[in-house]
Chains A and B, each alone.
Chain A
Amino acid sequence: MQLLTAILLSALRTAGLVVSITVLVFFLVRVIPGDVVDLLSAEGGLDAAMQEEMRQELGLQQSRPAQLGNWAANAVHGDFGDSLRFHKPVGGMVCQALPTTIILSSLSFAYGLFLGCAVAVLAVLWPKSFFPKAVETLNAWSVAMPTFCAGLLGILVVVLWLEWMPMLGNMFLAVVVLGTDVAGQIAKPLYEDLKETATSKFIMTAKAKGLGKTRVILFHLLPNSLSVILALSGIILGGLVGGTITLEVLFGLPGIGKLALDGVLGRDYPLVQAVILLLAVAVVCINWFTDIIAKLIDPRLRSH
């Protein structure tokens, strides 16, 4: 019961957050100097009358609160408006771009999670091997090598020098680059937590019972660190939601990040609003799910 109330309360708060973000973004994109008509006329040379007509048609001459009202009323019905530049429904454009981003981020996350956990566990299992060093190296790599730099180095070596694969639309390389970054973010904190837990008494008990080292680590140590893995996953997934943008630009993948960048640069208000709303909802849901799962697997958290 208590758990249920907590979940409902956080759902309410979450909904409030999403609504505030939508409103904030709505006004933020409209503060951008110059609207789409200005940009188009700078490119194509529209005269004053045509500009006026275009603004009328796009509803840009209305007051901002009125525009917000219209937009919100339509958005509730699932209609996010037409792109000001491409004259296509924004919803369709987002749906087209969504699979690319989902595949990219989920594959990189899965690969990174697996690599990070594996290296951290092996480092605890064999402290004298090269695995503890590998944890440090992975961590240093993800701190010091931004994904767009790593992506460029990858292109240089794999595409241009070794000529193994093409550059454009190269999902494989993007996943490797992004996933290695994720692994670095997971491996170090997990390793530290595992090492710290390894000194606690229930581990000593397990060892004293005569259980094997592998068994102790996999079935006693690792479950205790599940909440750390979960918390890290939440943060990393939230970061991935926006973090795919540079790789999408670099590898020419037609995903959400690319769409958002084009929208912001082209003053395409409906496009930006839809994308940011979507991403904010994604982040909020990720946080919400990790919260709930954390409470489910760790009874100590439920009272808070």
Chain B
Amino acid sequence: MLEIKNLNVYYGAIHALKGVNLTIRPGEIVAVLGANGAGKTTLLRAITGLVKVPEGEVVFEGRVLNKVPPFQRVAAGLAMVPEGRGVFPNLTVRENLLMGAYIHRKNAPAVKELLHELLKEFPRLQERVNQKAGTLSGGEQQMLAICRALMSRPRLLLLDEPSMGLSPLLGQEVFKLIDRIRDRGTTILLVEQNANAALRIADRGYVLEMGVIALAGSAAELAASDLVRVAYLA
């Protein structure tokens, strides 16, 4: 579904991603693990088009995305939940969700139905639908950010550290939600520092270290590997 070939990204003189190869098949949850500064967020930015890719290819469903501007990649079927949630604090919950369905803005009835469906599934957001997003708790904001991304009906959902800044309990809830989203047919790329929780729901995983894929394999293999155990699970 998504194929990344020999991806290189630079920030000035810094070589942030050095020849990364990565494949995601439909229906999978793929985890990308790594410490701070390993290049996880950069990888997501390259997929969504927020950074330029001078070398390598990002291929989504057979289409090379390198030259496609970010706002058109959403229409291709990609959605991202940015790091630190990134909800719009001054907009209400409903307005945030409507912004998520931005690419479907010409089809108001469908958006309305989608909104209705989503709110039924998340009663906590329904209760706060007219409240400003900035007044929600951290967990609710994360849920809103994920729902907002779902409003574009993506086939591939990119999540950047969804458990960051949440209590372990809330974090677990978010991971359960991610599993549920996959069951409904959305493929997921999950970038996480919390290797333990991520590998529990993931099918396969990659370990990024200093911009290089240090390890790749099934979730079970990664959880058992020395590298991951020593670095992230100890």
The answer to whether A and B interact is no
